[in-house]
Amino acid sequence: MHPGLQLGFLEFEVARIDAWHAFLTEVCGLVDVGGGRYRMDGHAWRIQLREGPLDDLATVGWEFEDDSLDAAIRRLEAAGYPVTEADPKARGAQRRYTIIDPAGVPGELVTGLDRADTPFQSPVVKAGFVADELGLGHLVLTAPDPAATRRFYTELLGMRVSDYIRTTFFGHDVDLTFLHANPRHHTLAFGGPQRKRIEHFLIEVASVDEVGLAYDRTIQAGHRIHLTMGRHPNDEMLSFYARTPSRFHFEFGWGGRQLDMAIEHDTQVFDRISTWGHQPPAFAFGKPR
């Protein structure tokens, strides 16, 4: 069954707003639509920037289909999470409520985010982005209490577990849980505490060459590569990771797996982060061993 939910928008509070503008438009290929907002698909906007010292994720916007929002609000309130009605016009939404997740990450539950009047065309990413009904992309959030985070996003918001990755990665224990909200393999993942509210967000493009072109632009613009090109075993995304101007990461990918919502998904535990690649540059390009 379709949970009727997607990642509707991300708002970042950033210290270096000019650097973020250049990063989103020239490197990622989003289009500035004014007011600190950036477009990447049929939605009027998907990313909002505001200037400030936080230098982190400010708000995650969860866009519900109308008929699933009320039930989610009832479940949150019954579990003791305050849900506060807010002005929907401030986000170009039909309905809007604010929440705080178990890790303290501010979220908004919205319906009916404004759609654009014109078809989307990026002057940079000619093939366009894989978004629209699959949502903006995905994100990895901090979760000091993974059980509480899991319950919040599954039992209360309505997402489902896709699978898990449990392994060690360059000496660090990794225990990641991946959740889907629609056919996109995962919209949200978490695996313990992070340095910031967000570890990374992903945007997906419609052609593999656009990943390579973005890799070149990322290097040319001087954004530090975090993980080299690689492919994940669970969502099958071919991607690379680099650092945003706020020092958390972004993932730029292609070929992400979509789940068949008509059948119950079989959850698996994967024993590696990547089938190939995704190596730290110091390991990949450091001294010959």
Residue with smaller CB distance to Fe ion, 122 or 187: 187
Shortest distance in whole angstroms from residue 249 CB to Fe ion: 9
* Number of neighbours of residue 90 by Cβ within 10 angstroms: 9
Shortest distance in whole angstroms from residue 186 CB to Fe ion: 8
Shortest distance in whole angstroms from residue 163 CB to Fe ion: 13
Question: Could you tell me the sign of the dihedral formed by the alpha carbons of 101, 224, 45, 40, in that order?
Answer: negative
Residue with smaller CB distance to Fe ion, 29 or 230: 230
Map the footprint of Fe ion across residues 248-267, applying CB under 5 A. Answer: 251
Instruction: Name the token pair of 258.
Output: 């979509």
CA-CA distance, 76 to 99, in Å (whole number)? Answer: 9
Q: 5 - beta bridge partners?
A: 64
Residue with smaller CB distance to Fe ion, 21 or 196: 196
Angle at 91 between CA 244 and CA 194, to 5 degrees: 35
CA-CA distance, 244 to 22, in Å (whole number)? Answer: 11
Residue with smaller CB distance to Fe ion, 24 or 202: 202
For residue 108, state whether it binds Fe ion (rule: CB under 5 A).
no
Map the footprint of Fe ion across residues 140-199, applying CB under 5 A. Answer: none
Shortest distance in whole angstroms from residue 185 CB to Fe ion: 10
CA-CA distance, 229 to 47, in Å (whole number)? Answer: 24
Binding mask 58-87 for Fe ion (x = CB under 5 A): ------------------------------
Residue with smaller CB distance to Fe ion, 96 or 232: 232
Shortest distance in whole angstroms from residue 97 CB to Fe ion: 27
For residue 202, state whether it binds Fe ion (rule: CB under 5 A).
yes
Residue with smaller CB distance to Fe ion, 74 or 247: 247
Size of site (CB under 5 A) for Fe ion: 2
Shortest distance in whole angstroms from residue 117 CB to Fe ion: 31
Residue with smaller CB distance to Fe ion, 37 or 197: 197
Shortest distance in whole angstroms from residue 253 CB to Fe ion: 7
Stretch that binds Fe ion, among 7-15, 202-210, 217-225, 258-266 (CB under 5 A): 202-210
Summarize as ranges the residues that interact with Fe ion (CB under 5 A).
202, 251
